[in-house]
Structure 1
Amino acid sequence: MSVTIYHNPDCGTSRNTLAMIRNAGIEPTVIEYLHTPPPGGVLRDMIRNSGLTVRAAIREKGTPYAELGLADPALTDDQLLDAMMAHPILINRPFVITALGARLCRPSEVVLDILPSPQRGAFAKEDGEVVVDGQGRRVAP
């Protein structure tokens, strides 16, 4: 039951995602990607397996995205990946990988689609939004 989260502890979405993984009784491998970014091939596979394009996996807000000229449509996936490796803050978060798939968990409850174990009880996000009821069932938005 291997679960890996590419995590930023300063990000509320990432903290909520990690908490939902743990609410399923799973202690994941937590990789703080700002300190330990995934190798280029792993990053490429993670993005592809999530069903995203490289451009869709780039974080713009609070990053050097504009300063690096990454909005240029002529840039290739390899050039964008190189920028993400050089500046890990450009990697959107959190990515979660399980045996059931890989996802960029934005919003955080996307993680529920790929967890191998059900939620063990109620869960509310840090802002109080209820995501899982007392029986471990996902609450419709």
Structure 2
Amino acid sequence: MTGAFPITIYHNPECGTSRNALAMIEAAGYAPVIVDYRSAGWPGLLLNELLAAMGVRPREVMREKGTPAAELGLLDPSVSDEAIVEAMRMHPILVNRPIVVTPKGAKLCRPSEVVLSLLDRQPAQFTKEDGEIVRP
């Protein structure tokens, strides 16, 4: 069903939020393109294009916990957007996840149920890994 309504998820399979967003997409009947951005990286202008599509600055999607953000000095408010994007290219784990792109737009889906706003149809009900029930 991906062709009629293409979906791409920039995914980290080790992240519960990312796994939940992917499972919600699949529960709604979609077969998304799944990109493990940690291994694929951010080629060319892709990251800049995603940031523009989401209408956010790099700092807004920068992950601090479990990343080298502090060691790289990226937490200083004076660090430029360009420097943050370059660091994200060199260390893909710095980009928070999941980012989902559909014909309805692109969003950082944290919490995972944000993904529902990007879908044309919804799962009837969804239970997250932690047992929380999401009703669209």
Q: TM-score, normalising length from structure 2? A: 0.92
The Cα offsets for residues 81-105 of structure 1, whole Å up to 9 and x where unpaired, read as 0000000110100000001000000
Q: Percent identity?
A: 53
Change (3 A) 1:55 1:40: farther
Q: Root-mean-square deviation (CA), in Å?
A: 1.1
CA contact 1:4–1:28 (8 Å) conserved in 2: yes
The number of residues matched between the two structures is: 132
Q: What stretches of structure 2 of length at least 5 have no aligned partner? A: none
Q: How does 1:1-141 map to 2 (within 5 A)?
A: 1-116=5-120, 118-132=121-135, 138=136
Q: What stretches of structure 1 of length at least 5 have no aligned partner? A: 133-137
CA contact 1:40–1:81 (8 Å) conserved in 2: no
- The amino acid of 1:66's aligned partner reads A
CA contact 1:24–1:119 (8 Å) conserved in 2: yes
Give, in whole Å, the separation in 1 of the partners of 2:44 and 2:58: 12
More helix by share: 2
User: After TM superposition, what 4+ stretches of structure 1 lie above 6 angstroms from structure 2?
Assistant: none
Q: TM-score, normalising length from structure 1? A: 0.89
